[in-house]
Structure 1
Amino acid sequence: MQLEFRHLRVLLAVAEAGSIRKAAARLQLSQPATSAQLKRIEHELGGPLFVRSAEGVKPNENGQYVLRCARDLVVGFDRLREHARSAAEADPGTVAPLRAGGTAGPLVSLLVSALFELVPESRLTIDARRSVHTLVKALSRSKCDIAVYGEFPGFPLPVGESVVTRTLLREPVFVLLAEDHPLAGRERVRLGDLRDEEWVMPEADESGVHAYLHLTCQAAGFTPRVAHVTTDLSVARILVAGRRAVCGVWPSADVPAQGTVQRPLVDVPFHRRLQLAWNPASVPPALAEAVGERLSAAYLSLVRERPRYLAWWEDGGAEFALGTDG
């Protein structure tokens, strides 16, 4: 794990709360996810920073030193951000518009909301694309300053050497089934149990989504039959509800039920990395860090609005989603 600025806020929240449970509430995370993240931070910094007891947690000697440094960095970061925003608002005519992008869906909406909080609206332009290939090409050619998109393991997107990327979290694929499907009564579904099903998928593109589905299913012992291709989720839902196909869906998406149910897959074999990417020539590190923090917080709020996703998240899924492996 690479130590990031957001990890300092986790340390400070734990120290100020005096317990992992209270810190988790402040951070809007589950207690297991906060505990796991704290352990990874301590491992990265060389050892325990807190003494655990039944009464809570207290920083040890090394932890006290790390917390002093963390507070100085956080205060300096906040001053830098406020100064940069004040300067931009005082003279908006001298600053080029910030060009933000993403692929169509909830992710770009979260990015737009985060940027509206951080930069004046007069300095922001939005370009939401269907094609992730067009998006990353714009990033690599410096025609887009900051963007958010999904990337499948084993299929990295060519954003260009000058572009900085950060993985926000890993998002699982849930399977969409007809509500009267034999597997609909299960809490989780094994990918291998879908070997005899036909699939409905979006069209193949440079993201590698079709190849990734095939590789993942082949690892589970079968080759998927993609019988239907559509980018229209409402069409896919009709096919699923009629027992003509099954479909992978992102649990963060607002998918109307209407004869269908969503179920998580056992062992999360199929997922994507949610990537924040930016050009450092036009996006300062402090702004990129602040955007990343807001995106992560907004995504967690979205999780809480999806009961099925929230149940998966609280039943061990958060550790997978917020982990750094895979």
Structure 2
Amino acid sequence: MQLEFRHLRVLLTVAEAGSIRKAAARLQLSQPATSAQLKRIEGELGGPLFVRSAEGVKPNENGQYVLRCARDLVVGFDRLREYARGAGEADSGAALPLRAGGTAGPLVSLLMSALFELVPGNGVTVDARRSVHALVKALGLSKCDIAVFGEFPGFPLPVGESVAARTLLREPVFVLLAEDHPLARRERVALHELADEEWVMPEADESGVHAYLHLTCRAAGFTPKVAHVTPDLSVAQMLVAGRRAVCGVWPSADVPARGTVLRPLVDVPFHRRLQLAWNTASVPAELAGAVGDRLLAEYLALVRQRPEYLAWWEDGGEGFALGADR
């Protein structure tokens, strides 16, 4: 068998899926056909690349090296294809819309509001993603032109050489509590006071959100008990209202829900940096600067619509959020 480019995608799919059965479903092949193809690829590359077990498959040492090379080749090919398509469309005189992106939440709507004012006509499209890693990858591959997202301290996202970024502000994490929780009577809550609580969290992803929680809580003297995982804020709110969990939330979001209260944490132990990033090949620096200024203005207007957040902002929070060291 002669190794072809499509075989690299098979290897990457198997590695990402963690099992031949799941990989076969993604590749729209039968499990026996996928297994046989994988064995032929391994034979061409000199031997097994994965360790098989009842739990699935994991790359061995040789497989890890091959997969790193495969990813580099696939990314390079995708960049080549996107460049060629973009060049062809530019040569044909077609007007390309500005492709904006972000992770689901209020930040995307703020970005779109800014772009609608600054980019004339119907020259903007939007792609809101759940995964910030997928968003950043799209920027690096020139599949997205400009995006807004959050980045946790100590967990930088690889935006790529062709991407520039600007930190707009530092956004704190507040804690969502049941309205009858003893700590709900406080104006602010110390992180160590949540040591015995169970937490509800979004699903773990490449942003490092779970690792960030664990590291920060350990610095406060305890290990957090993550008892519930859900991407749905309404489910998290229900668990909090029922005194089954506490939850960290962004005060820019539309919370709290009925039966819950929002409280800032003492000394802002948790925060994220709100980043505006753009592909320098498709977004002029002047436009990026204007979008950033407008986006920040839109965010400050949103702060004034959130009473708990506005109180924190006016009680010294503005200096933290907009300080020179952000």
TM-score by length of 2: 0.71
- Aligned AA for 1:196? D
Partners in 2 of 1:171 and 1:128 — Cα distance?
20
Distance in 2 (alpha carbons) for counterparts of 1:268 and 1:276: 22
SS at match of 1:273: strand
Determine the C-alpha separation between the residues in 2 that align with 1:242 and 1:135.
Answer: 34
Instruction: Encode CA deviations 1:211-237: one digit per residue, 9 max, x unaligned.
Output: 000011011000000000001111000
Deviation of 1:95 (Å): 3.2
1:318 equivalenced with 2:313 (yes/no): no
User: Relative CO higher for 1 or 2, CA cutoff 8 Å, sep ≥ 6?
Assistant: 1
Helix, strand or coil at the partner of 1:149? strand
- C-alpha distance in 2 between matches for 1:226 and 1:277: 31
Shift of 1:255: 1.7
Residue 119 (structure 2) aligns with? 119
Q: CA deviation at 1:292?
A: 0.3
Q: What code does the residue aligned with 2:134 have?
A: T
Q: Distance in 2 between matches of 1:147 and 1:98?
A: 11
Q: Deviations over 1:70-103 (max 9, x none)?
A: xxxxxxxxxxxxxxxxxxxxxxx65321110000
Question: Which residue pairs with 2:275 in the alignment?
Answer: 275
Aligned to 1:205: 205
Q: 2:263 matched to which residue of 1?
A: 263
8 Å CA contact 2:111, 2:295 repeated in 1? yes
Asked if structure 1 preserves the Cα contact closer than 8 Å seen for 2:176 and 2:249, the reply is yes
- Native 8 Å contact 2:252 2:303 kept in 1: yes
Indicate yes or no: 2:230 matched with 1:224.
Answer: no
AA in 2 matched with 1:320? F
- Tell me which residue corresponds to 1:104: 104
Q: Residue 256 of structure 2 contacts residue 262 of structure 2 at CA under 8 Å; is this kept in 1?
A: no
Alignment correspondent of 2:247 = 247
Instruction: Describe the SS at the equivalent of 2:150.
Output: strand
1:275-313, Cα deviation, whole Å (9 max, x unpaired): 000011110011001000110000000000001100000
- One-letter amino acid matched to 1:268: V
How far apart are the structure 2 equivalents of 1:249 and 1:122? 34
Read off the aligned partner of 2:196 and give its amino acid letter: D
Whichever residue aligns with residue 311 of structure 1, its letter is A
The Cα shift of 1:256 comes to 4.2
What SS does structure 1 have at the residue aligned with 2:277?
A: strand
Other structure's SS at 1:221 match:
coil
Partner of residue 195, structure 2: 195
Q: Which range moved further: 116-125 or 232-241?
A: 116-125
Q: Secondary structure at the match of 1:143?
A: coil
- Compute the displacement of 1:121 (Å): 3.7
Check whether the contact 2:197–2:225 (CA below 8 A) recurs between aligned residues.
yes
C-alpha change, 1:256 and 1:186, in structure 2 (3 Å) is: closer
Alpha-carbon separation, structure 1, partners of 2:302 and 2:135:
24
> Match for 1:199: what amino acid?
W
Could you tell me how far 1:242 is from its partner in structure 2?
0.5
Task: Give the Cα–Cα distance (whole angstroms) in 1 for the partners of residues 127 and 242 of structure 2.
Answer: 35
Q: Structure 1 unaligned runs (5+)?
A: 1-92
Report the residue type matching 1:239 in the other structure.
Answer: L
The residue that corresponds to 2:181 in the other structure is 181
> 2:152: which partner in 1?
152
Q: Does structure 1 conserve the Cα–Cα contact (< 8 Å) formed by 2:255 and 2:262? A: no
1:195 partner amino acid = A
> Which of structures 1 and 2 has the bigger CA Rg?
2
Question: Is it true that 1:161 corresponds to 2:161 in the alignment?
Answer: yes
Separation (CA, whole Å) in 1 of partners of 2:236 and 2:121 = 36
- Contact conserved, 2:175 with 2:247, CA < 8 A, in 1? yes
Gaps of 5+ in 2: 1-92
Query: How many percent identity over aligned positions?
Result: 82
Q: Distance in 1 between matches of 2:324 and 2:294?
A: 19
What SS does the corresponding residue of 1:254 show, helix, strand or coil? coil
Q: Which residue of 2 aligns with 1:54?
A: none
TM-score (norm 1): 0.71
Distance 2:248 2:121 in 1: 36
Runs of 4+ in 1 over 2 A off after TM superposition: none
Q: CA deviation at 1:323?
A: 1.3
**What is the alpha-carbon root mean square deviation over aligned residues?**
1.0
* Structure 1 counterpart of 2:48: none
SS at match of 2:122: helix
**1:130-177: CA deviation from partner (whole Å, max 9, x where unpaired):** 111110010011110000000000000111011000000000000000
* Counterparts of 2:96 and 2:236, CA distance in 1: 41
Question: What letter corresponds to residue 101 of structure 1 in structure 2?
Answer: G
